[in-house]
């Protein structure tokens, strides 16, 4: 599936080819802190299928629990998280942050990872009252 996307302010833009079946939710505490939210939703793609079409993102390097480096890319102007990748063999795949994908409404997560740190209320949000606009 061909996608394109951007950060909140539009400075960083990109396009990619993704498999819409390869969308996951991660509940790890790093993802919670890096998003400021309960979890992160990511569409994975080979690094050869991802291309920046606008401004350059800023890089933050974090070290995972396994000791590997994770390269976190975000907009230097608005701070929106854009993507992540690793080093060495981990650099062959890019995780695109679903919230930045223009076609995000067409993507449904197919799996969850790092579920033990999931916040206890996450599975119950469908029960909350909702409003079409805040």
Domain residue spans of the chain:
2-119
Whether residue 127 is predicted with pLDDT greater than 90 in this model: the reply is no
Check residues 64 and 2 and name the one with the higher pLDDT: 2
**Tally of helices (H runs) and strands (E runs) in the chain:** 1, 10
Whether residue 64 is predicted with pLDDT greater than 90 in this model: the reply is no
Whole-number average pLDDT of the chain? 95
Query: Could you tell me if 66 and 57 are in contact, meaning their C-beta atoms sit under 8 angstroms apart?
Result: no
Chain centroid, CA 109 distance in Å: 12
Give Cα separations from 40 to 10, 37, 131 (angstroms).
21, 8, 23
Q: What is the CATH number of domain 2-119?
A: 2.170.150.70
Band of the pLDDT at 9, cuts 50, 70, 90?
very high
Band of the pLDDT at 66, cuts 50, 70, 90?
confident
Helix, strand or coil, per DSSP, at residue 124: helix
């Amino acid at each position: 599936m061909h996608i394109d996307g951007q950060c909140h302010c539009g400075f960083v833009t990109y396009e990619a080819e993704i498999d819409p079946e390869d969308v996951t939710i991660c509940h790890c505490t790093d993802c919670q802190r890096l998003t400021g939210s309960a979890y992160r939703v990511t569409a994975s793609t080979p690094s050869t299928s991802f291309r920046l079409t606008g401004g350059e993102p800023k890089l933050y390097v974090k070290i995972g629990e396994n000791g590997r480096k994770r390269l976190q890319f975000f907009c230097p102007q608005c701070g929106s998280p854009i993507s992540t990748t690793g080093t060495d063999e981990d650099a062959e795949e890019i995780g695109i942050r679903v919230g930045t994908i223009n076609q995000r409404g067409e993507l449904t997560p197919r799996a969850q990872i790092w579920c033990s740190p999931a916040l206890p209320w996450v599975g119950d949000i469908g029960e909350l009252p909702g409003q079409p606009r805040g």
